[in-house]
Amino acid sequence: MVGKGIIKGMVETARNFLGSYVSKQRLTTIQYPEERAPQIEAARNFPFLVFDGTDAEQGLRCVACQICEKECPPKCIFIEKSKDKKPDATGKMQFYPATFNIDISVCMSCQICVEVCPFDSIKMDVVYDLSNNDRFAGLLLHKQQLAKSNEYYNTIHPTEAAAVDAHFAEERAKAAARVKAAAEAKLAAEAKAATDAKAKSETTLADTQAQPVGGGTR
Amino acid sequence: MNLKLDQLDQIFVILNNWLLGYLPPVVRPLCSSILAIALILVTFALLFAITTVLERKGLGRIQNRFGPNRVGPCGFLQPIADGIKSLTKEDIVPNPADHVVHFLAPVLLVAAAFMAYAVLPIGRNMILVDMNAGVLYFFAIGSLMELAVFMAGWSSRSKYSLLGAMRAIAQMISYEVPLVLASIVVIMQSGSLSTVSIVNMQATYTGIWPHWFVFTPWGFAGFALFMIAATAESNRSPFDLPEGESEIIAGYYTEYSGFKFALFFLGEYIGMFATSAMAITLFLGGWSAPFSFLTWIPSYFWFFAKLLTIILTFIWVRGTLPRLRMDQLMNLAWEFMLPMTLLNLLTAGVWHFMPAGALRWLICGAMVVVPCILLSRGLKQRKKFQVRKYRFSE
Amino acid sequence: MSDATNLTAQIDINTIPALGKEQLLELAMGPQHPSTHGVFRMNVVLDGERVMKLKPVFGYLHRNHEKIAESETYLGSMPYTDRLDYICSITNNWAYAIAVEKLAGIEVPERAEYLRVITGELTRLQNHACLLGFLMQDMGASGTPLMYAFREREKIMDLFEGLTGARMMCNYLRFGGCRVDTPAGWMDAARKVVAEFPRFLDEYENLLVGNEILMDRTQEVGILSKELAINAGISGPMARASGVDYDIRKVDHYSIYDRFNFRIPLGERGDVYDRYMIRFLEMRESIKILEQAMRDIPDGPIVDPKTKIRGFRPKPGEAYGRIESPKGELGFYLVSDGALNPYRYRVRPPSLINLTVLEDLCIGQNVADVVVILGSIDIVLGEVDR
């Protein structure tokens, strides 16, 4: 029949029109900024630095190894290593980044810096309303702006953060076990040395005590 | 009770007479016209504003999204925002353009569009000028709108505008022919060119059914053809190639900005309302109610209800169909619609001279339906278009 | 516009039935144009509504991709390949990964291959949906089919975000496998999306196939003959619509496509309608592949444990890796001299090669059809210009 295709098309649009008043599936708009889309866990936007504890300077995991700076494809990370060392979360003395800048107007969110970091110190954030009036300085994020706590990391990427925490806990347990074993070994060595010395002094005492029978008064 | 309803129906006439009572009799005709003109301008401009919002929201809902919904309740104050925006934009006229003609084109378009309302009966006894040749006047004014379009395209001295203007002129002239021919059947049947008498003829009832011309075979075919031609005259989708956004940007009004662009928009929509109103007058019984027990509702209400229904149908069609290409458009006008309108004339004649009854319905119905099917089949076969089946590789 | 004025001069006077060259109109469509699919310019010479000559001008989106790759490590180029054909990032990654794996002789574990096929076919689905929507938009259907297509595409993009972290620039594949494994619940969400997709295809079919206006505008428009398609090196759905039976998934047997049961639709006339319908049928076949892959995916490692992320130096040599991307044959030619960076990195862009026949398709057609034909070739300027 002539016009059948057109009629079918119009029925389809009418169905969508009426359906948009009844079902959410036919009206998929999310009214930003009153409503926000639910965050998908694996989403990534720009990197941030993780610190343990409450002090951003003290607990920063980054040791300024500069691997992320080398591997970044558009070369948007700028690190200056410090001259001195500070103790990290496990007490070991490490370097730290004196400056750590990321130019987010260049960053392409490829996540390679996260992949190559051996210390789990740089991760991907999910914040996207980062607009600024200053094109250059406003989009160059410094260490203070980049450092966010481990609790925050746990809220945005729970599974990933839990895996990282579990890994750290394991490392710490192993380290603690090593320290304990070393301490015990040291203790055992000291105890053994003490018993050896005691045994040696006892034998010498016994020798001196056993001697005057043949000597008499001289 | 009946008296009160009649008063409600004639409220504007009563108000008009009351106001004119304060003036000396010498100036009364002039002031009456001025009042009526002012009322028409205000009403249809308001209708234009509402239509822009309805269109955007309607298209939005068809496309699974909200339309504008921030300005005012449910977005209905959006036209105010649009008006302010178009008034505050810089008015750029290209250097090589013909400045006088460039300025006059939108003015002429709007003026011509509004002039067409002089012969449209909006309610019982509510018409600006009751001309004897109202329908003729209407179509003559419609041709002025085409002139304005051409002025716009020519004066802009730009290739896109010229292309758009040529296409628009060709389209509008081609579709004038089926438009007028489709309305001739009504004139034949009613024996008069006056819009008032055409509506009065349709405002009678047998039982509960009205005598609208659309309820006859030739009237139905005439209405369908008139509406298709009206869509093409107003450059609405699927016939909006002259303003084909994806091809030549905006066609003949590419070089217009700011308020002149808004005036073009206004002129087009007002023209669309005028043609729809003429369709309502000719075929859908003007201001008469659809059933005899509903005549207590005022006549102007029915007029605007029918007008809104047609507008919503325009929006629905716009949301569904892709655009026709230029040669397909022309083929439709000259090869399909022109023969159909001529055959319709024959059908209307047969209807007039046969005695009333089922036989008349049968013969006239066949005379409308059979040629339509045969003609469309013949045209389709010549082009060899069909849904294809595809093979798969082994 | 100096090159444009030469265009009219190049036309043979005998081919013009009108009064001569003064009647010809020279027009530049683009680079700022609502429907040239990106920054792309076409200088056309018109006789009334008919196209006499057409010269495509591109390069507005050239970003030095191949030169940058010569100074980046192999892994560092992977995010840049996302941005070649920015709608289908995973298939770009896949072609590059295959090229590097051939160069360095790396094997890919089973589960990674299945994940590659799943994400690759999802990419094909969303690319074809996007294209069909845009084709209707170009024809003036005021955005309605476009919105329906994008509604479905959003579901697939949400899946990508759940798996790879980004909706479009996925950066998901690595040499020797994939970057991450699927999180909990992803496979079920993907199954749900794939189960709902045929309903959208049926709705689309109702809306469009059999629509008289669509058929009028696309049938017998922009016909590409089989001989020209083979001679010009056209690949992908455009070639298959002209009847060339060439699908790299069946020819090269790369990855694990041998295990899946799917057919290749072929067209007869090679006009715009055929190209459009072939892509439609390909979507249905992709759904079949997806269902089979999601049913059979095994457990196992995601990446070959021997591959290095840092300090990856393949042995000196050259390799050409190609796949059937949604646009055609996407190939990467790599030459290594044993360093961290490739010596030569060349992309075979299907969009550009398919675009070379644009003039032949458009001559004699109406100017309104030029846009429709360009849309049916399915170009993405990121790939044309690199």
Residues in chain A: 218
Q: Could you tell me if A6 lies within 8 Å of chain C, comparing CB atoms?
A: yes
User: Which has the minimum average pLDDT: A3-7, B303-307, C130-134?
Assistant: A3-7
**Mean per-residue pLDDT, A49-76:** 88
> In this structure, are B186 and B146 located in the same domain?
yes
In this predicted structure, what is the pLDDT of residue B288?
87
- The minimal CB distance from C267 to the residues B325, B328, B390 is found for B390
- Model-level pTM? 0.85
> In this structure, are B181 and B234 located in the same domain?
yes
Q: Which residues pair with A100 in a beta bridge?
A: A79
In this predicted structure, what is the pLDDT of residue B181?
92
Q: How confident is the model at residue A213 (pLDDT cuts 50, 70, 90)?
A: low
According to DSSP, the β-strands at A147-149 and A47-51 are: parallel
Rg (CA), chain B: 23
Neighbours of C295 (CB within 10 A): 8
Amino acid at B10: Q
**Mean per-residue pLDDT, C244-249:** 90
Helices (H), chain A: 4-22, 67-71, 112-116, 143-146, 150-156, 158-210
**Mean per-residue pLDDT, A120-133:** 88
Question: Tokens representing C15?
Answer: 């081919």
Question: What residues 326-385 of chain C have any CB closer than 8 A to a CB of chain A?
Answer: none
Of B69, B88, B107, the residue that ends a domain is B88
pLDDT tens, C327-374?
A: 999 999 999 998 889 999 999 999 999 989 998 898 888 877 888 888
**Helical packing angle, B259-282 and B134-155, nearest 10°:** 160
Report the half-sphere exposure of C363 (CA within 13 A, side-chain side): 11
On whether residue B208 sits in a domain, the answer given is: yes
Residue C129, classed as helix, strand or coil, is: helix
Q: How confident is the model at residue B249 (pLDDT cuts 50, 70, 90)?
A: low
Does C8 score more than 70 pLDDT?
A: no
Question: By a Cβ cutoff of 8 Å, what residues of chain B touch chain C?
Answer: 59, 62-65, 159-160, 163, 237-238, 240-241, 244-249, 318-328, 383-388, 390-393
pLDDT tens, C91-109?
A: 999 999 999 999 988 889 9
In chain A, what are the domain boundaries? Answer: 47-160
CB contact under 8 A, B238 and C266: no
- Given a contact cutoff of 8 angstroms between Cβ atoms, the answer to whether B218 and B187 are in contact is no
In this predicted structure, what is the pLDDT of residue A216?
45
Residue, of C37 and B68, whose pLDDT is higher:
B68
Q: Which long-range contacts (CB under 8 A, 24 or more apart) does B372-378 make?
A: B372/A2, B372/B221, B372/B340, B373/A1, B373/A2, B375/B336, B375/B339, B375/B340, B376/A2, B376/B336, B377/A2
What contacts C134, CB < 8 A, 6 or more positions away? C35, C37, C146, C375
Residue, of B325 and C156, whose pLDDT is higher:
C156
For B382, nearest residue in chain C (alpha carbons): C216
Q: Could you tell me if B358 lies within 8 Å of chain A, comparing CB atoms?
A: no
> In this structure, are B181 and B291 located in the same domain?
yes
For C210, nearest residue in chain A (alpha carbons): A5
Rg (CA), chain C: 22
> In this structure, are B76 and B194 located in the same domain?
no
Distance from C-alpha of C193 to C-alpha of B322, rounded to nearest angstrom: 29
Q: Could you tell me if A28 lies within 8 Å of chain C, comparing CB atoms?
A: yes
pLDDT tens, C123-179?
A: 999 999 988 888 888 877 777 888 888 888 999 999 999 999 889 898 899 998 899
Find which of A4, A7, A8 to mutate to test the C interface (most C CBs within 10 Å of its CB): A8
Residue, of A170 and B243, whose pLDDT is higher:
A170
**Helical packing angle, B134-155 and B159-190, nearest 10°:** 180
Q: What percent of chain C has pLDDT over 90?
A: 39
User: Which has the minimum average pLDDT: A150-154, C42-46, C192-196, C343-347?
Assistant: C42-46
pLDDT tens, B216-231?
A: 888 899 999 999 999 9
On whether residue B389 sits in a domain, the answer given is: no
**Mean per-residue pLDDT, C208-217:** 76
Distance from C-alpha of A128 to C-alpha of A141, rounded to nearest angstrom: 14
First-to-last C-alpha distance (Å) of chain A: 146
Does B253 score more than 80 pLDDT?
A: no
For B312, nearest residue in chain A (alpha carbons): A14
CA distance C26 to chain B (A): 8
> In this structure, are B44 and B166 located in the same domain?
no
Distance from C-alpha of C118 to C-alpha of C294, rounded to nearest angstrom: 7
In this predicted structure, what is the pLDDT of residue B377?
81
Residues of A in contact with C180 (CB under 8 A): 42
A144-156: string of b/e by CB count within 10 Å (b at 16+)?
Answer: eebbbbbebbeeb
In this predicted structure, what is the pLDDT of residue A74?
92
- Given a contact cutoff of 8 angstroms between Cβ atoms, the answer to whether C55 and C43 are in contact is yes
User: Which has the minimum average pLDDT: B103-112, B321-330, C31-40?
Assistant: C31-40
Of B58, B88, B118, the residue that ends a domain is B88
Amino acid at B265: F
Is B44 exposed, middle or buried, given 0-12, 13-18 or 19+ CB atoms closer than 10 A? buried
In this predicted structure, what is the pLDDT of residue A205?
64
Of B53, B88, B123, the residue that ends a domain is B88
On whether residue B238 sits in a domain, the answer given is: yes
Complex-level ipTM: 0.80
Question: Cα dihedral sign for A151, A154, A157, A163?
Answer: positive
Architecture of domain A47-160: 2-Layer Sandwich (3.30)
CB contact under 8 A, A44 and C215: no
In this predicted structure, what is the pLDDT of residue C206?
76
Count of domains for chain B: 2
Distance from C-alpha of B323 to C-alpha of B341, rounded to nearest angstrom: 23
CA angle, A210 as apex, A204 and A213 as ends, to 5°? 150
> In this structure, are B77 and B102 located in the same domain?
no
Q: Could you tell me if A17 lies within 8 Å of chain B, comparing CB atoms?
A: yes
In this predicted structure, what is the pLDDT of residue B216?
87
Does A57 score more than 90 pLDDT?
A: no
Does C17 score more than 80 pLDDT?
A: no
Q: How many B×C Cβ pairs under 8 Å?
A: 123
In this predicted structure, what is the pLDDT of residue B371?
86
Q: What is the DSSP string of A155-168?
A: HHSHHHHHHHHHHH
> In this structure, are B25 and B110 located in the same domain?
no
Q: What is the DSSP string of A74-106?
A: T--EEEEE-SS-EE-TTS-EE--EEEEEEETTT
DSSP B333: I
**Mean per-residue pLDDT, C270-280:** 89
Residue, of B12 and A1, whose pLDDT is higher:
B12
Residue, of B61 and C47, whose pLDDT is higher:
B61
Residue, of B111 and B378, whose pLDDT is higher:
B111
Distance from C-alpha of C33 to C-alpha of B248, rounded to nearest angstrom: 8
Residue C330, classed as helix, strand or coil, is: strand
Q: What is the DSSP string of C258-297?
A: GGS---EEE-SS-SHHHHHHHHHHHHHHHHHHHHHHHHHP
Does C4 score more than 80 pLDDT?
A: no
Closest listed residue to residue A148, CA positions, set A216, A63, A54: A54
> In this structure, are B173 and B117 located in the same domain?
yes
In this predicted structure, what is the pLDDT of residue A218?
44
Q: What percent of chain B has pLDDT over 90?
A: 28
- Given a contact cutoff of 8 angstroms between Cβ atoms, the answer to whether C255 and C117 are in contact is yes
In this predicted structure, what is the pLDDT of residue A83?
87
> In this structure, are B84 and B95 located in the same domain?
no
In this predicted structure, what is the pLDDT of residue C3?
46
In this predicted structure, what is the pLDDT of residue C2?
42
Q: Could you tell me if A42 lies within 8 Å of chain C, comparing CB atoms?
A: yes
- Residue B311: domain span: 89-379
**Mean per-residue pLDDT, A190-211:** 72
CB contact under 8 A, A2 and B376: yes
- The minimal CB distance from C142 to the residues B64, B160, B319 is found for B319
Q: How many A×C Cβ pairs under 8 Å?
A: 82
> In this structure, are B146 and B78 located in the same domain?
no
Does A22 score more than 50 pLDDT?
A: yes
**Mean per-residue pLDDT, C178-187:** 90
**Mean per-residue pLDDT, B199-214:** 85
Residues of B in contact with C49 (CB under 8 A): 326-327
DSSP B296: T
> In this structure, are B284 and B365 located in the same domain?
yes
In this predicted structure, what is the pLDDT of residue C303?
85
> In this structure, are B374 and B225 located in the same domain?
yes
